[in-house]
Amino acid sequence: MEDTGDYRFSNLFKKAKVPTSWIVPGVVRDVDITQQNRILGSQVDIRGVAVSAGNHWLNTYGLLSHADKEPIPFPLTPDKNNIPALQRQPIRIGYKSYMDVQTIGSYSEGYIQMIPYYYHLNLSNGTIKPVDIYMSVNRKYVPINLFGVAQPGWDPSVVYNNVVTLSWDDEYQRRNYSDAERARTEQIASAFKTYDAYGNEINLITPFGKNYAYGNNQLMQLTSRNRTFIGTSMVNGRYNANPGNVFNDLLFGLQAQRWHFTTGLPSSAVAVEKGREPTEINIKALRNNTSVLLMALDIKAVGDTYILQYKGSEVNGPVTIAGKIFDLSSLPYPVVSVISGNKSASEDLEITGTH
């Protein structure tokens, strides 16, 4: 995770502008979105090796300078904020998080599938319950994420198609797409070919444009429009995997990728216990200041030969929220965000156009 739209976390992810200006006077500094401060990330690198300073953290192949620092472990919780006054305020419903996942292998015709799962965590007793997510459309609640519904053979029409998009032209700097990564991606795209719908040979497709839809709140499918290339023959800044240049260096570039995506819910989203209707009573039962929502991601890399399950750092560890420790180890997929149980971005109307 490289950034969020929630200004509360802007100083965690990005460096402050010089000279100093303020989003919230005396509390939150305005930031330069092109200058990364910290990132949230896996505690194992692209090869499954534990991250360390000696291995350049998550900058395995040398093209991701923003990842060449110790990653803060997932999930994004308020206690990880570097502004003490905000360490009890989770990210709010309605704000996006800008994220990516790295892969190695042959994905020239492959894709990444992501299914978000949402849970309700009771901060009083630690109870965790799966929930369904609804949003308001024309003053009526419609489902946008039904827990566990996305299975082989499922009917996508059972959820409202609230699309998620990648606006690369507006976001690439925020996503730390450096000149080095750009050069490598352009090299690979021109050196290796694919075919268009008419059978014509074309360069590999890479991110471009605005508002590219790659799924919805129920299921996302990242394609070549989400993918950049990050591979080199130099590993961890010291090991040459191609001594004597026996192989074409571009082959190393092709075999490592970064897939860019966005998570988050619309500001009108509400949660109800799995299987229940979005009535006022059911919504209020979960929407309070003694609970939070958890977002976990089921990530599968679908390659030319294999389908691989992403496990991140293998398990969900304990998390601290509002001064209490909660055990998330029972959840099967990596939890990436802890979200406010009763506040949304629509309540931040005074903070507009700042971050």
Answer yes or no: is 46 within a domain: yes
Question: What sign results for the dihedral spanned by CA atoms 136, 96, 130, 299?
Answer: positive
What is the spatial distance between Cα 203 and Cα 186, in angstroms, rounded to a whole number? 9
CB 122, CB 294: distance < 8 Å: no
Residue 313's pLDDT is 55
User: Exposure of 191 by Cβ count < 10 A (0-12 exposed, 13-18 middle, 19+ buried)?
Assistant: middle
Residue 251 in tokens: 């082959």
Average predicted confidence (pLDDT) for the chain:
94
**β-bridge pairing 335-344 and 91-93:** parallel
Q: Flag whether 353 is in a domain.
A: no
**Which span out of 50-64, 94-108, 230-244 was modeled with the highest average pLDDT?**
50-64
Tell whether the model's pLDDT for residue 139 goes beyond 50.
yes
Residue 334 domain flag? yes
Does the pLDDT value for residue 353 go beyond 60? Answer: no
Q: What is the mean pLDDT of residues 191-195?
A: 91
- Secondary structure class of 117 (helix, strand, coil): strand
Q: How far is Cα of residue 346 from the mean position of the Cα atoms in its chain?
A: 22
Domain total for the chain?
1
What does the block give as tokens for 266?
């619309």
Give Cα separations from 125 to 4, 119, 128, 306, 332 (angstroms): 29, 15, 9, 41, 21
CA distance 271 to 105: 38
In a domain, 191, yes or no: yes
Percent of the chain with pLDDT over 70: 96
Tell me, yes or no, whether 81 lies in a domain.
yes
In a domain, 352, yes or no: no
The whole-model pTM stands at 0.95
Query: Domain residues for 39?
Result: 3-347
